[in-house]
Chain A
Amino acid sequence: MREEEVPKGLKNDIRVWLLIAAVVLSVVMIGPGYSAEEGLNTDLNYGLDLEGGSWIQIKLQGAVTQLDADISMLVTEIVESAIDVPIEILSVTGDEGEGYSNDGNTVTFTTSTYVSGLQMDLLGLGQSDISYSDDASSIVLSTNKQTLIMQYLSRALNTEVVPLFVGDGVEYEIRTAISLEELQTLMVPVGGNVLAGSDGDVIFREGVRTETRDMTRDILSEKLNSLGLKDIPVRTVGEEYILIDFAGTDLTTAKEIVEKPGKFEIRMQTTGNESVHVLYGDSIEKVGIVTQMDGSWNTPFTLDEEGAFALQKIAIETGAIADPNSHLLYMYLDDREVYGAPLSYSAASALNEHPIYSWQASTGIDEDGKTQAEQLQIHLRAGALPVNVVLMGSGQVDAALGDQFKRQVAIAGLFALLAVAVVVFRRYRKKEILLPMVGTSLCEVIIILGFAGAVNWQLDLPAIAGIIAAIGTGIDHLVIITDEVLYEGKLPSTKVYMERISKAFAIIFAAAATTTIAMSPLVVMGFGALRGFAITTIIGVLIGVLIARPVYGKVIKVVLDKAE
């Protein structure tokens, strides 16, 4: 009679079914299988420390700041360092305020030597009109403050400096490591300083913009993809770090892959499928930010002298200057075509006269064009990263060792569970308690692993430590439930039993809440290996408290009822 009632109680309980469903689903997600070659295998993803492979963590160096400087001092510094002869500023017109002005400035200056138009163009300051009298040159330069500051800094630091208009001013991203003091010293010769915000603090932070960080990540991903290493995850960690996992690759190879730029080449069509070499990636000096001009998206880039002359020469030789449409310009990355288009008519006719340093590759007017332009921006860099990076950390575990770790962890887990079982059995001396307890723990492990499989979690050593932590508190909680139920040494009536269970769960929920809260800073801060540890612990505790342990409370009553 009683025995028939009891299973019915369990069968009608939705929580029991929930647990069973969770376990079944988890087993499907884990996907255990057996094959003659590989032995026992599952669909679980293991981390590098268990699978073998290497990882590299790099930090992006740079600074983002707002600056001001004196226009005539900027022009003097930049031009004098280029031509090695003093110049004399005659006049500066236009708005010289701190903010950005669209109108720009006109700077007129003279010098006692011959300055060619090409020399001025190479400085990249803006349009200049030069008139000569005797040996002296008189130059009228149309420029603006942000261009001058950008050129001054990028020359002084030998790095890229990218200005960006923000609300009331111009923000400069300096793509190399520089401290506030160094920058302030650097601004002294041009009568400049680092601007202060409305709160009085100087506007300066180390690091790069989020967009730059993401671009660096994309370039790395792209590069790894082009090498056929498709599954290599390139992740950003925090604001300034990028972490790359190389499954099954040793550290030496991994470093070579990250450091070695791709092979970028520009070729020009001669006839039909034939084309001739124009230049390699090392001739590309700078790649600009994707912009939209006259509705069309394009990627600006600058060639060095050799490259500009080579392109002019080939364009003349192939006849592209006369008939651009039958002599397309192609770009290749690692022998893969990434861009192909004719020269514009204006560029073609200009090449007749002189080489062109600044180019724009236009890709089209729609969203597709934008995506292509962004892709091209990455390709043009040929895998060279936009910012200076330093290696912050790296590691390697070879596959044999990973295998051994995996086995060892499994053994440790199994023996640990056995040890727990022995202690529990010695305490209660009833297999009716031991079996549900160990069973519940096993269910928790299976569900955590199933969850890991479902979300494609990488199980590494810290994550396994997290699972062990969750199971450890799990056993603690099961002991609390058991002792609460058996409060005076025997099983109480159903009404009292329900009260006791809710008391036990009050304690368990409180304990689970503290564990979850204690682990959450690690999840939010997200540094290093401990993030995985914290997340698995929290998920394990939640699965235990919400799914598995309530069922244990039900089962233990049924089983003990039966036994009595």
Chain B
Amino acid sequence: MAAILTEYLDSFVRSCDDKKLIAIPLAVLVLSLLVSGFVFATTGAPVKLGMEFEGGTMIAFETQESAEALALAYSAHSLVDTRKTGDRAILQFGPMDGESQSELEKAITSKYSSVEIKQIGALYGKELQTQALIALCLSFIGMALVVFLIFRTAVPSLAVVLSAFSDIAIAIAFMNIVGVELSLGTVAALLMLIGYSVDSDILLTTRVLKRRGSPDENIGRAMHTGVTMTTTTLAALVVMYIVSTFSYLVTSSVSQINLLSDIAIVLIFGLAADLMNTWLLNTGILRWHVRRSTPRRRRA
């Protein structure tokens, strides 16, 4: 699959001019920003915040009862959402006071087995929000600084940073469209994305700037390596996603591992976006930059 993809991408990159190469991912980026911007305008956050950032209580346990029956049974507490995957029910509650919280926990732990509880105070959630935002910004700035230190030229460095930014923006837009909430796991995934996305960009930029040969040849070779890298990672992530999300289809009592499932799905979106951003956006900008400056450097 990787080989076919590389071949197709390679011939596409060779046949298109730089402007067209850059235009496609930029259009997707703008579209993504619009989606997240719309969500931001309507809800006040660029992506739906999960329980860890909103505050509330999540209780999951094993039961044969239906979601409707459970929703009815616990409607007295500020029940927000009831879901059922296999034999596991997941109840989501809004913030409540300490006493009713303890009561609820006692009632559920004494009645059901394989209980998982997670409770985050609304205030703490607010604090986590700010911290996550700061972490994301600092990570991005740190990454950008390292990239500039490595290449020491403005255009190639900017291209790397722009495509990393685009990866994150598209991943967030996807989260909005598919309905993945922002949790600690997904924040981790977005941070991982910074690391993964820069890998292939650095490979591409180094090969094109520091190797002999025509830009197209260098790009082709880099693409061969880079697409393999991304597809191996994607393969691992798809497997991780399937195991952590759909195991209950095999044994219905098995729980989903939300943290891993969240990380995997966001990284899958992000790395798919990275394929486009590295080999169209970054490549387009880089090729334009090299062709613009080569004639002057070419030796007679």
Which A positions have Cβ atoms within 8 angstroms of B?
54, 57, 59, 250-252, 255, 390-398, 400-401, 404-405, 408-409, 411-412, 415-420, 422-424, 426-427, 461-462, 464-465, 468-469, 472-473, 475-477, 479-480, 483-484, 487, 503, 506-507, 510-511, 513-515, 517-522, 525, 527-530, 533-534, 537
CB of A519, distance to nearest CB on chain B (Å):
7
Q: Are B114 and A519 in contact (CB under 8 A)?
A: no
Report Cα–Cα, A503/B117, bound state, in Å: 50
CB of B240, distance to nearest CB on chain A (Å):
5
Residues of B within 8 A of A476 (CB): 196, 199-200, 229, 232-233
Task: Pick the contact of A416: B2, B105, B236 (CB < 8 A).
Answer: B236
Task: Pick the contact of A465: B121, B138, B185 (CB < 8 A).
Answer: B185
Report Cα–Cα, A521/B187, bound state, in Å: 13
Q: Are B235 and A419 in contact (CB under 8 A)?
A: yes
**Given that A400-B113, A518-B143 are contacting pairs, would A479 and B195 also be in contact in the complex, using a CB cutoff of 8 Å?**
no
Task: Pick the contact of B109: A252, A392, A511 (CB < 8 A).
Answer: A252
Report Cα–Cα, A404/B113, bound state, in Å: 13
CB of B149, distance to nearest CB on chain A (Å):
8
Q: Interface code B124-150, partner A: CB below 8 Å = 1, 0 otherwise? A: 100110011011001110110111001
Residues of A within 8 A of B116 (CB): 395-398, 401
Instruction: Name the residue in A424, A461, A507, A534 with the highest tally of chain B Cβ atoms < 10 Å from its Cβ.
Output: A507
Task: Pick the contact of B202: A391, A395, A418, A511 (CB < 8 A).
Answer: A511
Q: Interface code B79-115, partner A: CB below 8 Å = 1, 0 otherwise? A: 0000000000000000000100010011001000111
B255: CB under 8 A from chain A? yes
Q: Are B203 and A480 in contact (CB under 8 A)?
A: yes
User: Which of chain B's residues 214-238 have a Cβ closer than 8 Å to chain A?
Assistant: 221, 224-225, 228-229, 231-233, 235-238
Residues of B within 8 A of A537 (CB): 192, 195
Report Cα–Cα, A415/B246, bound state, in Å: 14
Q: Are A517 and B142 in contact (CB under 8 A)?
A: yes
Report Cα–Cα, A393/B98, bound state, in Å: 11
Report Cα–Cα, A452/B31, bound state, in Å: 43
Q: Are B195 and A518 in contact (CB under 8 A)?
A: yes
Residues of B within 8 A of A391 (CB): 98, 119, 121
CB of B270, distance to nearest CB on chain A (Å):
12
Task: Pick the contact of A420: B114, B132, B187, B235 (CB < 8 A).
Answer: B235
Chain A minimum-CB-distance residue to B59: A396
**Given that A251-B117, A514-B147 are contacting pairs, would A423 and B225 also be in contact in the complex, using a CB cutoff of 8 Å?**
no
B194: CB under 8 A from chain A? yes
**Given that A398-B115, A527-B128 are contacting pairs, would A518 and B191 also be in contact in the complex, using a CB cutoff of 8 Å?**
yes
B175: CB under 8 A from chain A? no
Q: Are A469 and B192 in contact (CB under 8 A)?
A: yes
Residues of A within 8 A of B225 (CB): 479-480, 483-484
Report Cα–Cα, A534/B1, bound state, in Å: 32
Residues of A within 8 A of B105 (CB): 251-252, 396
Q: How many A-B residue pairs have C-beta atoms within 8 angstroms? Tell me.
A: 230
Range for the number of chain B residues in contact with chain A: 35 or more
User: Main secondary structure on chain B at its contact with chain A?
Assistant: helix
Residues of A within 8 A of B263 (CB): 465
Task: Pick the contact of B238: A419, A472, A503 (CB < 8 A).
Answer: A419
Q: Are A250 and B224 in contact (CB under 8 A)?
A: no
Q: Interface code B60-73, partner A: CB below 8 Å = 1, 0 otherwise? A: 00000000000000
Q: Are A514 and B257 in contact (CB under 8 A)?
A: no
CB of B258, distance to nearest CB on chain A (Å):
9
Q: Are A514 and B224 in contact (CB under 8 A)?
A: no
Task: Pick the contact of B188: A255, A465, A477, A483 (CB < 8 A).
Answer: A465
CB of A134, distance to nearest CB on chain B (Å):
54
User: Which of chain B's residues 227-274 have a Cβ closer than 8 Å to chain A?
Assistant: 228-229, 231-233, 235-240, 243-244, 247, 254-255, 257, 259-260, 263
Residues of B within 8 A of A54 (CB): 117
Report Cα–Cα, A546/B120, bound state, in Å: 39
CB of B285, distance to nearest CB on chain A (Å):
18
Report Cα–Cα, A413/B34, bound state, in Å: 37
Report Cα–Cα, A394/B124, bound state, in Å: 11
Q: Are B228 and A483 in contact (CB under 8 A)?
A: yes
Q: Are B243 and A396 in contact (CB under 8 A)?
A: no
A–B complex contacts, Cβ < 8 Å, 13 sampled = A252-B102, A252-B106, A394-B117, A400-B114, A422-B235, A427-B2, A473-B195, A480-B225, A483-B224, A487-B221, A503-B210, A513-B150, A534-B191
Q: A408-B254, A475-B229, A515-B198 are in contact. List 20 more A-B contacts (CB 8 A).
A: A400-B114, A409-B257, A412-B257, A412-B260, A422-B235, A423-B2, A424-B232, A465-B260, A469-B192, A476-B229, A483-B221, A484-B225, A503-B210, A507-B202, A511-B198, A513-B146, A521-B142, A527-B131, A530-B135, A537-B195
Report Cα–Cα, A533/B186, bound state, in Å: 12
B118: CB under 8 A from chain A? yes
B176: CB under 8 A from chain A? no
B24: CB under 8 A from chain A? no
Q: Are B109 and A251 in contact (CB under 8 A)?
A: yes
Residues of B within 8 A of A424 (CB): 228, 232
The 9 closest A-B pairs by CB, nearest first: A515-B195, A521-B138, A392-B124, A412-B243, A517-B142, A416-B236, A396-B117, A483-B225, A419-B235
Residues of B within 8 A of A513 (CB): 146, 150
B76: CB under 8 A from chain A? no
**Given that A404-B255, A530-B135, A530-B188 are contacting pairs, would A507 and B114 also be in contact in the complex, using a CB cutoff of 8 Å?**
no
User: Which of chain B's residues 1-36 have a Cβ closer than 8 Å to chain A?
Assistant: 1-3
**Given that A401-B255, A461-B257, A522-B191 are contacting pairs, would A472 and B236 also be in contact in the complex, using a CB cutoff of 8 Å?**
yes
B45: CB under 8 A from chain A? no
Report Cα–Cα, A404/B244, bound state, in Å: 11
CB of B113, distance to nearest CB on chain A (Å):
7
